[in-house]
Amino acid sequence: MSQVILKITEVQFFFCDCFKLYFFIMAHVYENNELVDMILIYGECHQNAAAAASRVYSECFPLRVHPRPAAFVRLIQRARDTGELRENRGRHAGSGRPPQMLEVEEEIINLIEDDPTTSTREIAR
């Protein structure tokens, strides 16, 4: 089972001073098989027609989320630049936490358990 990461964008609408309405828009994160299908269809469209690739993709896979033409361009560029299909989400994305970070976190937890009144500035030293 693959890990799905959702990117959430918060949009605020103000109707009056006392009422705010929030909408959360989640960007679709494509599975590996969807990304490969996008690359194959882009190739079938002679690698120069992202709009055509988007149309052909939506015809071939009507039940999937249909990518915009820019998604094809970004995917191909990312594959060429990094050799990766998926976006790198952060410095240690997908690699788990480095062992040094785990040791530091455990040290911090121990310091707080020993004396909960310890300041964060002192812990940072």
Per-residue pLDDT 10s for the chain (125 aa) are: 444 444 444 444 444 455 555 555 556 788 888 999 988 988 888 876 777 888 888 899 988 888 888 888 888 888 888 888 887 766 555 555 566 777 788 888 888 888 888 888 887 77
Determine if residue 83 is left, alpha or beta; phi over 0 gives left, psi from -120 to 50 gives alpha, anything else beta.
left
User: What confidence score (pLDDT) does residue 43 get?
Assistant: 87
* pLDDT, tens digit, 9 for 90 and up, residues 16-32: 455 555 555 556 788 88
Give the mean pLDDT of the chain: 74
Q: Which amino acid is at 6?
A: L
Enumerate the domain spans of the chain.
7-87+98-124
User: What confidence score (pLDDT) does residue 120 get?
Assistant: 80
Q: For residues 21 and 12, is the Cβ–Cβ distance under 8 A?
A: yes
Separation of alpha carbons 69 and 109, rounded Å:
47
Residue 87's nearest CA partner among 1, 28, 25 is 28
User: What confidence score (pLDDT) does residue 67 get?
Assistant: 85
Separation of alpha carbons 103 and 110, rounded Å:
11
Distance from chain centroid for Cα 100: 25
